[in-house]
Each structure stands twice: as C-alpha cells, then as structure tokens.
C-alpha cells in the first residue's frame, strides 16, 4: 500500500478565515434585521402621515369650531372657528346675560373662567346673538389642557340653532298641553260650581221678588232692588254660559248691541263698589265716561260685553292702588265703533304685552287666575272685533275694543198690506 497523502497546508482553512466567515454571516443577519426595521419604520411613518392628514382633514371639515387658547389669545384654531368668528355679535350668555362682541372674546372669557378654577373642570355654556331677529345659538365647551400644554384651554364651539329651536318648540308644545289640561280640569270644576251658583241665584231671585212686594215702588229702595234684580239676571246668564262651556256647547248667539247702553250698565254696576272701596283706602278714584248718542249697533252678546267692560274697569282699579281716574270713551272710527278704557296706573311691562291675553297668564301672582283678559279677548274676537293693550305716553294703560259697525236695521212697514 502506498502511504496516505496529507492535503497541502494552503487547502486547510485557518483560524482567520473561519472568523471572517462568521463575521460575514452576522453582518448578513444584521442587514436583514436592519432592512426589516427600516421597512417597519417606513410603514409606521406612512401610517403616521395618513393619520395626520386624516386628522387634519377631519378638523378642517368638522362642523365644530376647535381652538386652543390661553387667557389672552388664540394659539391654534381650525377653519370652522374662523367662520363662526366672522358672525356678527354681540353674543349674550344665557346663564347671566353677559355680552361678548365676537367669538374670540367668548373664548377668552370661557378660558379665563376655566383657568381660574383650581381643579380641572369642563365648562359648557350657551351664547345667543343679542340683536338679530333670528339669532344663532352657540354651545361653547371649554376644558383645561394637561401635560406639556398646561395653561392652555381646548375650546369647542357648535352651532346648535336648530337644536335650540326644536327645544323651544318642544317646551311650547308641553306648555300648550298643560294649558289644555288646565282648561279640561277647569271645565269639570266649572260644572260643579255653576250648579251650586245657579241654585244660590234662584234663591236670591225669590227673595228679591218677595222684597219688591213690600217696598214702595216710587221710593229709592225700589231702584236698588231693580239694580239687584238686573245683576242677578246677568249672573244667571253668566252661569248658564259657564255650564255651556263645561259641556263644550257652542258659544253665545250674537245679536245687535248698542255699545253705549252696555257701557252704561257696566258702569252703573261697578261704580258704587269701586268708589266706596277707594274711599275706604283713603284715595280718590273716579270714573269719567264719554258716550255719544247715535252710535251704530255692533254684533255681540250684551251680557258678555257688559262683563268684558266690568273686567277692564276692575283691572284698571287694581292698577291704581293710590287712586286716579278711569276714562271710558266710545266713538265712531271709520266704519267701526271703538271703545277705549284708560287708567292712570302703573302700566304694562313691555315684555308682557305679547302674552297678556294668553290663558293663565297673570301679573297679579296668587291674586289672579289669568283668565279674565283671555276670556274678554275671546268674547270680543267671537263678536268679530279686536281687543288690544298698550301703554299711554303719559303713564298708565289703555285697552282698545274695536267692532265693525252694523248697518241700520230696515224700518218696519208703516201699515199692513192692503
């Protein structure tokens, strides 16, 4: 056998070659990891860019106005904030009536209120345009920013005009339903009261008839008894009307009415009572009545209109706790007949003029029911007329009743047919 040959020294890898191969493998592994990391970092960066663009698009196209503010200036704001900032002020805060001229002033006021609070609070306030016929309503939300942006406030303002209008309509609908429920309950109560009053008035009528038999027809007592009989008759008619109301029957049948006669009767009924009450209170109160003859007739119910005038006179008396004059004046006004009832009292607050004829609205507190002027307005309207209220320039209030004048009734034939 031939001897075994050993490989040449150059063909056997040495220690340095093996180390180089190991380093090359590690380098390749590191490169793979670096490439994967760069790829992941690029993907993360792309996501951040997309998120940033999406967030910026959302902020710029949002219906909500967003801003970062401090107590003196706007640090950052989106486009909607600048749009709302161009709306005309002043803006009135609903909770206390404070006014700010522009949205920037609103934001500064709300930011100052949040920063003044020692703890982090979220403040939500509504502002309304103060001098617009159809005002816009803004809801402003202010919240303190934490972290690296301490001392700044995040503001969010939303135009909630439609929401506020819907809330007002809902509140009005609820109030209307409540009034209807009150009227229904009042009708049930009226039925029982009318029954009792009718029995009382019947007893009073019988007593008056007995007294009239014993009183001298030519004496002054007879006049008082006639007046009382007249009042009882009107009261019975009123009770009958109340019963009809409680049974939801149709309204009073209209007739031809001489307004001057109605006013005279009303004045005769209340004059003694209100003048006597004024004297007891140490005040002077007088009724000045100007009723010309020959005024045209109007359409209505004499009994109903009489109590409308009585109600207005009593209201005028209540408005003059220190006395004064109540003036009633009837006159022809074009093709209409007009009656004014004026007093020298405190007048009607301007904010109440639009509501004074609404059911259950009263300025007398617990002393009033809020039905007198409402029913008076209904009576006049049913007769085809109008009833308005205003303040006199010299002080006091004036109620004006206007009725269409009726044509003169045709004269009856002088003789029968031949």
Evaluate whether residue 13 is within a structural domain.
no
d(CA 40, CA 38): 5
Does 52 share its domain with 69?
Answer: no
Evaluate whether residue 395 is within a structural domain.
yes
E-assigned strands of 111-262?
Answer: 122-129, 137-144, 153-159, 255-257
Q: Which of 70-84, 89-103, 357-371 has the lowest mean pLDDT?
A: 357-371
Does 49 share its domain with 75?
Answer: no
Model confidence at 328, pLDDT cuts 50, 70, 90, reads: very high
Q: Which of 8-12, 55-59, 139-143 has the lowest mean pLDDT?
A: 8-12
- Identify the domain boundary among 124, 143, 159: 159
Q: Which of 129-138, 199-208, 269-278, 335-344 has the highest mean pLDDT?
A: 335-344
Q: What does the pLDDT look like over 168-213, one tens digit per residue?
A: 888 888 877 776 666 666 666 666 777 777 778 888 878 877 787 7
> How many structural domains are present in the chain?
3
Indicate whether 91 pLDDT > 90: yes
- Taking the alpha carbons at both ends of the chain, their separation in whole angstroms is 181
Does 52 share its domain with 71?
Answer: no
Adjacent-strand bridge partners of 330: 339
Does 356 share its domain with 285?
Answer: yes
Count of other CB atoms within 10 angstroms of residue 82: 14
Evaluate whether residue 227 is within a structural domain.
no
Q: What percent of the chain has pLDDT over 70?
A: 80
pLDDT at position 54, please? 63
Does 52 share its domain with 118?
Answer: no
Does 362 share its domain with 324?
Answer: yes
Model confidence at 361, pLDDT cuts 50, 70, 90, reads: low
Q: What percent of the chain has pLDDT over 90?
A: 24
Evaluate whether residue 200 is within a structural domain.
no
Tell me the average pLDDT across 301-323.
88
- Domain of residue 100: give its range: 64-159
Q: What is the CA radius of gyration of the chain?
A: 43
Evaluate whether residue 179 is within a structural domain.
no
- Identify the domain boundary among 37, 61, 85: 61
Does 131 share its domain with 259?
Answer: no
d(CA 219, CA 27): 137
Evaluate whether residue 222 is within a structural domain.
no
Count of other CB atoms within 10 angstroms of residue 290: 12
Does 302 share its domain with 272?
Answer: yes
- Identify the domain boundary among 159, 180, 202: 159
Evaluate whether residue 166 is within a structural domain.
no
Does 346 share its domain with 392?
Answer: yes
Does 369 share its domain with 272?
Answer: yes
Q: What is the domain-level CATH number for residue 388?
A: 3.30.565.10
Q: Where are the alpha helices (DSSP H) in 62-160?
A: 79-85, 103-115
pLDDT at position 417, please? 45
Does 52 share its domain with 107?
Answer: no
Evaluate whether residue 234 is within a structural domain.
no
Does 92 share its domain with 34?
Answer: no
């Amino acid at each position: 056998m031939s001897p075994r040959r050993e490989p040449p020294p150059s063909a056997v890898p040495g220690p340095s070659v093996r180390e180089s191969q190991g380093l090359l493998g590690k380098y390749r592994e590191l490169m793979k990891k670096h490439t994967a990391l760069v790829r992941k970092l690029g993907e993360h960066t792309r996501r951040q860019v997309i998120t940033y663009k999406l967030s910026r698009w959302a902020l710029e196209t949002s219906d909500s106005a967003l801003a970062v503010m401090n107590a003196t200036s706007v640090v950052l704001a989106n486009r909607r904030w600048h749009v709302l900032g161009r709306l005309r002020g002043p803006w009135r805060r609903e909770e206390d009536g404070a006014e700010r001229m522009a949205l920037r002033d609103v934001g500064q006021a709300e930011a100052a209120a949040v920063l003044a609070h020692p703890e982090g609070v979220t403040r939500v306030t509504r502002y309304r345009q103060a001098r617009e016929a159809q005002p816009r309503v803004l809801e402003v939300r202010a919240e303190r920013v934490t972290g690296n942006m301490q001392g700044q406030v995040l503001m969010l303002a939303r135009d909630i005009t439609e929401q506020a209008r819907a809330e007002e309509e809902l509140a009005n609908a609820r109030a209307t339903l409540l009034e209807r429920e009150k009227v229904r309950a009042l009708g049930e109560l009226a039925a029982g009261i009318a029954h009792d009053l009718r029995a009382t008035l019947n007893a009073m009528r019988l007593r008056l008839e007995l007294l009239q038999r014993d009183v001298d027809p030519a004496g002054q007592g007879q006049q008082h008894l006639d007046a009382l009989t007249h009042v009882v008759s009107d009261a019975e008619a009123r009770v009958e009307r109340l019963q009809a109301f409680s049974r939801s029957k149709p309204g009073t049948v209209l007739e031809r009415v001489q307004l001057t006669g109605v006013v005279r009767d009303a004045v005769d009924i209340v004059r003694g009572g209100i003048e006597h009450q004024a004297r007891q209170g140490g005040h002077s109160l007088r009724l000045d009545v100007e009723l010309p003859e020959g005024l045209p007739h109007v359409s209505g119910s004499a009994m109903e209109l009489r109590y409308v005038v009585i109600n207005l006179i009593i209201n005028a008396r209540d408005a003059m706790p220190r006395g004064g004059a109540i003036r009633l004046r009837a006159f022809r006004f074009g093709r209409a007949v007009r009656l004014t009832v004026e007093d020298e009292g405190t007048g009607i607050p301007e904010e109440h003029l639009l509501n004074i004829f609404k059911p259950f609205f009263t300025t007398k507190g617990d002393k009033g029911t809020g039905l007198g002027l409402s029913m008076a307005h209904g009576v006049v309207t049913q007769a085809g007329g109008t009833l308005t209220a205003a303040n006199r320039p010299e002080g006091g209030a004036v109620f004006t009743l206007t009725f269409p004048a009726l044509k003169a009734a045709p004269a009856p034939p002088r003789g029968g047919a031949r």
